[in-house]
Amino acid sequence: MLGVGSKLPAFSVKATAAKPLADINIDNVFVDVTNESYQGKWLVLFFYPKDFTFVCPTEIAAFGDLNEEFADRDAQVLGASVDSEFVHWAWRKHQEELKDLPFPLLADVRRELSTSLGILDEKEGVSQRATFIVDPQGIIRFVMVTDLNVGRNPKEVLRILDALQTDELCPCNWNKGDKTIDLAEAA
């Protein structure tokens, strides 16, 4: 698995558009997303195993609820699985909490991105439940992977993004607005 300090691999995938259902039509439902689509922004790239499951929509909706907070930090949220853009679209139309999803869902149908990141679950053939925070220079600054059955905490991902953006030493359980570690004071 690629870790902290690694460069995000180049990728190009189809995705469902980040629009409310009422604003989507056949001409704008699918978009192309690459590693260069959001240049100059932080990326919060999270993978989930499959559409039409039970844990996944809870996480996706939770990231959606925090989307404005991520955007306020100049971060683009991207969800991804190995399902196709058509399956993503069908799921969004029928899963109430995903109908107005404010970020794209990437379709890694060839499993190239999951494989290059080292998060393709060999036994199940799906992406592991992985989260990457990538800085504006394309460098991975945070990685977390949980068991396929265990959902992650998007508020914790936001907290980690806040800490990374300080570019300072942040103690355990640090939250935005808390004091960072000042080496001059610590000496």
Per annotation, catalytic residue among 56, 106, 113, 130:
56
Residue 13, judged by CB atoms within 10 A of its CB (0-12, 13-18, 19+), counts as buried
A 10 A CB-CB count for 68 gives 10
Would you call 56 a catalytic residue per the annotation? Answer: yes
Angle of helix 154-166 versus helix 56-65 axis, rounded to 10:
50
A 10 A CB-CB count for 53 gives 14
127 three-class SS: strand
Catalytically active residues, by annotation:
56
